[in-house]
Structure 1
Amino acid sequence: MFKNHKLTNQQDVQFARLQAWVMSLVCSLLVLFAAAAATRIPHYLTVGDYGRLLSVILFSVLTIVGLVANIHTHITLKESNK
């Protein structure tokens, strides 16, 4: 009734590469949003809205960490092809 569909190692790597490229798109969009939000930092400093300032900085740091992790994933998948 149920068929066992196991992927081969090469199919696993190809699927992981597809996931990495989709995550690259997501991370790139998030970095773009973080850059847009960072343009408001001078305004938050002058108004004294430190909650939003901290939120923008935290969001920027998290997006950069996500992008670096995604680049590391691409490098690891490229090395696994050798």
Structure 2
Amino acid sequence: MSQRFGHIVDRMPYGSGSTGRQGTYIVEDGETGTRHSFMYADIVTEGFRTIRTGERVRFTVPADDPERAAYVIRLDLPDIEDYYR
């Protein structure tokens, strides 16, 4: 699995049923333009696994499921020091 870079282009709130507690996200590969989907559990971070449309991310594409993104890492995390001023 090679690392890819892209940005979040959409969120579908009903990815996990009618309650929409676990949305499905769509990331567009910055090099190929291919779109891949992923769930919040694929977001690699400490704390809340939140991501916003437009954010830049790094991700991998599993060889056995080329339409899915995995190990999604946010690249534009806010500076934690801003919260403690």
Pairwise TM-score range, normalised by the shorter structure: under 0.3
Normalising to structure 2: TM-score of the pair?
0.22
More strand by share: 2
More helix by share: 1
Normalising to structure 1: TM-score of the pair?
0.23
